[in-house]
């Protein structure tokens, strides 16, 4: 099992007791998130829909790379990688 760091956005820190960074383990992004949800169950509803897919305004990055450029939730993770969860933000330019 790979140990990864997960960065929690400010909007969701009430679910982690105010912590901005937590540790979790797994072999894929999905596995890591499941481990995260076990420790912090409130996060599951905020981040995933009833099918277990990521909600459409949730972006997840592995070492800065959008996981949709990899295998999405099936993207493999390695030790010491960083998973970042952020809301999709538009209105830019």
Partner 1 sequence: MPATALTCRECGSTYPLEAQFVCSRCFGPLEAQYAEHPSAGDPDAIKRRIQAGPQTIWRYADFLPTDRVPTLPAAGPGGTGGLDGLPAGGTPLVRADRLAERLGLREVWVKNDAANPTHSFKDRVVAVAAARAKELGFTTLACASTGNLANAVAAAGAALGMPVYVFIPADLEEQKILATGIYGATVVTVRGNYDDVNRLCTEIAGERPDWAFVNVNMRPYYAEGSKTLAYEIAEELGFQAPDRIVAPIASGSLFTKIGKGFREWIDLGLLPEGTQVPIMSGAQAAGCNPVAAAFDAGHDVCRPVRPDTIAKSLAIGNPADGPYAIELARKTSGTISEVTDDEIRAGIKLLAETTGIFTETAGGVTTATLRKLAEEGRIGRDERVVIVITGEGLKTLDAVRGTFECREIAPSFDEFETIAEHRAEVTA
Site residues for partner 1 per CB under 8 A: 7, 9-12, 14, 45-47, 55-59, 61, 64, 66, 68-69, 84, 86-93
Closest contact distance (angstroms) between CB of 64 and partner 1 is 7
CB closer to partner 1, 2 vs 86:
86
Cα–Cα distance, 63 to 44 (Å, whole number):
22
Q: CA–CA distance from 65 to each of 6, 19, 41 (Å)?
A: 14, 23, 25
The answer to whether 32 touches 77, Cβ cutoff 8 Å, is yes
The least distance separating partner 1 from the CB of residue 58, rounded to whole angstroms, comes to 5
Given the complex with partner 1, which of 37 and 61 has the nearer CB atom?
A: 61
Q: Whole-number minimum distance, CB 25 to partner 1, in Å?
A: 23
> Which region holds residue 18: left if phi is over 0, alpha if psi is between -120 and 50, else beta?
left
């Amino acid at each position: 099992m790979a140990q990864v760091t997960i960065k929690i956005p400010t909007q969701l820190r009430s679910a982690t007791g105010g912590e901005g960074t937590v540790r979790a383990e797994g072999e894929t992004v999905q596995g890591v998130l499941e481990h995260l949800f076990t420790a912090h169950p409130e996060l599951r509803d905020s981040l995933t829909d009833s099918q277990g897919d990521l909600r459409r305004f949730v972006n997840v990055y592995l070492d800065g790379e959008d996981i949709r450029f990899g295998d999405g939730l099936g993207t493999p993770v390695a030790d010491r990688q960083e998973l970042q969860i952020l809301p999709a933000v538009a209105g830019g330019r």
